[in-house]
Amino acid sequence: LEVAAHKRKARPHTGGREAIAPHLPRQDILHDLPVHEKWCTHEHEGVCWARQRIGEEVSERYHYEPPKVWVERHVHPKYACGHCHEGVKVAAAVKSILPKSNASASLLAHLVTSKFDDGQPLYRVCRQLERQEVLLSPGTVGTWVNTLGGESVVPLINLMNDALFEHPLIQMDETYLQVLRSEKSPNSDHYMVVRCAGPPGRRIILFDYIPSRTAQALKDLLIGADGPYRGKLLTDGLELYDIVAAQLKLEHFGCLQHARTYFHKALKVAELPSGRALAGVAMREYIGPVFKIEQDIKELRKQRERDGSVLTIEEVLKLRQEKSAPVLTAFKQWVDDLLPGIPPQSALGKALAYTTNQWPKLVRHLEHAEVPIHNNDTENQIRPFAQGRRVWLFCHNPFGARA
């Protein structure tokens, strides 16, 4: 089998460093000449003339100031009448998100962001605060974070869950988690399930802890206060999602990126004489072009927005039918012809089997313009969590995992 050489596109050479973002505030620091250097040293008609300012040279550098910690003093003046005994009047106390704690909402937001978005363990955050002479123990901070996630913000999460169910498409994925003290062994896997919905910039993203990855546990996440979810579901190839989709009668969509990953793995191993070459054909001739078409649609949508118009659902469907559908049809024929002669346990065999088993879900997006061809958005939400997990390693108990 002869495979054409891959041609790389050269990146445009911009030259020089990237410009500093224009939205950042500027503070001018003037470096002026001494007074005596502002006078010309050459006499003109017997007179020394002052040099005229004709312009300026400007260079910009990033300046960083460490975060500032200060204490909020909530002062409640007391009032009483000097002629009667009706008691003391004082303004109502300000409600705290964590009653009986000295943590403000801003500090709690910093702690949560540092751990779950930046992947820092709480003891390290406490050490950073210690540089500013703020002494907080990791145990105290851990209790704050657990109480915040497990109790205080539950009403907000419930509202977000209700809003999630209003969208026509929910994307789901899961990742493992270790919980030391539970009904299971400390070495067993627990799971964090991610559900995403909504347009870019207004995404609803919810993480839910489940002790075991079962169809019932996943199904429960798709049943809200008003009953089961009735929209579309986009997931990877985990069979449990097939069971859930069938029980709830959901229209189920697959992830073409997972098929791409299988072929990419086959591209790296040399199990079969022509395995790598065939994997390259799948990537270059079929899967790659489909992703390129979706990228072109994305760029066209952005261009329309810049022009003050929109790319309609009908236009997206037409582009997918005219461009993607023929490529995917040829891809399926190629897979069917190749599958019988490839060992099923080889990397290429697994890629072909995954594609065949998932095929109805992989091409369903051709009839639904609002559904992406992959589940990358959800997986991208898992990545910061997974990076943080490498540092803080585990949760102490199920309450901490839910938080």
Instruction: Give the CATH number for residue 224.
Output: 3.30.420
Q: Answer yes or no: are the C-beta atoms of 393 and 176 closer than 8 Å.
A: no
Residue 9 lies in a domain: no
Burial of 249 (0-12, 13-18, 19+ CB in 10 A): exposed
Q: Are residues 272 and 354 in the same domain?
A: yes
The answer to whether 339 and 356 are in contact (CB under 8 A) is: yes
Is there a single domain that holds both residue 265 and residue 319? yes
Same domain assignment for residues 308 and 336: yes
Looking at the fold, whether 322 and 392 belong to one and the same domain comes out as: no
Helix pair angle (122-130, 138-147), 10° resolution? 120
Q: Are residues 129 and 265 in the same domain?
A: no
Predicted TM-score (pTM) of this structure? 0.82
Shared-domain flag, residues 387 and 242: yes
Residue-by-residue pLDDT tens, the chain, 403 positions: 343 444 555 565 555 678 888 999 999 999 999 988 888 877 766 566 788 889 999 999 999 988 889 999 999 999 998 888 788 999 998 888 998 899 999 999 999 999 888 888 999 999 999 999 999 999 999 999 999 988 899 999 999 999 999 999 999 999 999 888 888 888 888 899 999 999 888 999 999 999 999 999 999 999 998 899 999 999 999 999 999 999 999 999 999 999 999 999 998 887 777 888 999 999 999 999 999 999 999 999 999 999 899 999 999 999 999 999 999 999 999 999 999 989 999 999 999 999 999 999 999 999 999 999 999 999 999 988 888 888 887 887 878 878 7
Number of domains forming the structure of the chain: 3
| Residue 78 maps to a domain | no
The reply to whether 209 and 311 lie within a common domain is: no
Tell me what pLDDT residue 1 has.
37
Pick the closest to residue 190 from 382, 380, 398, 393 (CA basis).
398
* Residue 16: inside a domain: no
- CA dihedral sign, ordered 32, 35, 38, 42: negative
Domain end, chosen from 152, 167, 189, is at: 152
> What distance in Å separates the CA atoms of residue 178 and residue 191, rounded to the nearest whole number?
8
C-alpha dihedral sign at 99, 100, 103, 108? negative
Distance CA 206, CA 225 (A): 16
Q: Which two tokens stand for residue 317?
A: 């469907």
Residue 336 falls inside a structural domain: yes
Domain boundary among 152, 170, 191: 152
- Contact between 243 and 215 under an 8 Å Cβ cutoff? The reply is yes
Same domain? For 312 and 394 the reply is no
CB-CB contact of 194 with 207 (8 Å): yes
For 277, the domain range is 256-369
Q: How many CB atoms lie within 10 A of CB 199?
A: 8
The verdict on residue 56 lying in a domain is no
Answer yes or no: is 277 within a domain. Answer: yes
Q: For residues 123 and 209, state if they share a domain.
A: no
Which of 312, 286, 283 has its CA nearest to residue 300? 312
Q: What is the pLDDT of residue 17?
A: 76
Q: Which residues contact 330 (CB under 8 A, 6 or more apart)?
A: 286
Q: State how far the Cα of 75 lies from the Cα of 72, in Å rounded to an integer.
A: 9
DSSP 183: S
Any domain includes 383:
yes
Contact between 26 and 61 under an 8 Å Cβ cutoff? The reply is no
Query: Is 348 contained in some domain?
Result: yes
Residues 363 and 383 in one domain: no
Same domain for 362 and 265? yes
Residue 338 tokens read as 């190749």
Which of 152, 168, 190 terminates a domain? The answer is 152
The answer to whether the beta carbons of residues 262 and 236 sit under 8 Å apart is no
Q: Angle at CA 107, nearest 5°, toward 106 and 108?
A: 90
Instruction: Work out the angle at residue 358's Cα, subtended by the Cα atoms of residues 352 and 362, and round it to the nearest 5 degrees.
Output: 105
Does residue 260 share a domain with residue 350?
yes
> What b-and-e string marks burial along 136-148, b requiring 16 or more CB atoms within 10 Å of the CB?
beeeebbebbbbb
